């Protein structure tokens, strides 16, 4: 085991599967990743069981980040209730490609520093395209 950090992604619908497939296109298969989808019709017992099973599969890793799609949503709340008390677990929200990729590949060993790093990278991964006006372009001498 090279990486000391593992990630559980838990999200509404099949979002966990979808974002993981995108990350795998760039990074390849990740042994330190588990997915917990919350499709319509699921119940709390099912999601709690899947979260605990995923955690047990990752027990050899030093740190486990659980990254969810929405603060206060069912995947976030169930993650906190099922695993939030564990010393080596932090539960985050706001899942995006940048945050997941960082969580999976970071070599930061301190769990709180890792969580902060993943949150910051996730924020930096959000932006917007702005058209540069012709005047701005001319002023730049380009």
CATH of the domain at 34: 3.40.50.510
* pLDDT score recorded for residue 109: 96
Question: How many structural domains does the chain have?
Answer: 1
Partnered with residue 12 across adjacent β-strands are 38
111 lies in which domain range?
5-139
DSSP per residue, 105-134: H----SHHHHHHHHHHHHHHT-----PPPH
* pLDDT score recorded for residue 133: 83
* pLDDT score recorded for residue 7: 99
pTM (2 decimals)? 0.90
Residues 6+ apart with CB under 8 A from 119: 92, 94, 99
* pLDDT score recorded for residue 5: 98
Give per-10-residue mean pLDDT for the chain (142 aa).
88 98 95 97 96 98 98 98 97 98 97 99 97 72 58
């Amino acid at each position: 085991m090279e990486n000391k950090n593992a990630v559980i992604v838990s999200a509404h619908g099949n979002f966990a599967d979808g974002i993981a497939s995108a990350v795998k296109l760039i990074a390849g298969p990740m042994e330190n990743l588990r997915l917990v989808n919350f499709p319509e019709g699921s119940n709390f017992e099912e999601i709690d069981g899947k979260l605990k099973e995923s955690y047990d599969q990752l027990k050899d890793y030093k740190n486990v980040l659980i990254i969810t799609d929405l603060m206060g949503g069912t995947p976030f709340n169930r993650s906190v209730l099922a695993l939030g008390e564990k010393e080596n677990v932090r539960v985050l929200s706001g899942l995006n490609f940048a945050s997941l990729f960082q969580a999976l590949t970071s070599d930061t060993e301190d769990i709180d520093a890792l969580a902060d790093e993943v949150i910051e990278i996730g924020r930096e991964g959000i932006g917007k395209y702005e058209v540069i006006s012709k005047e701005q372009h001319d002023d730049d001498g380009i």
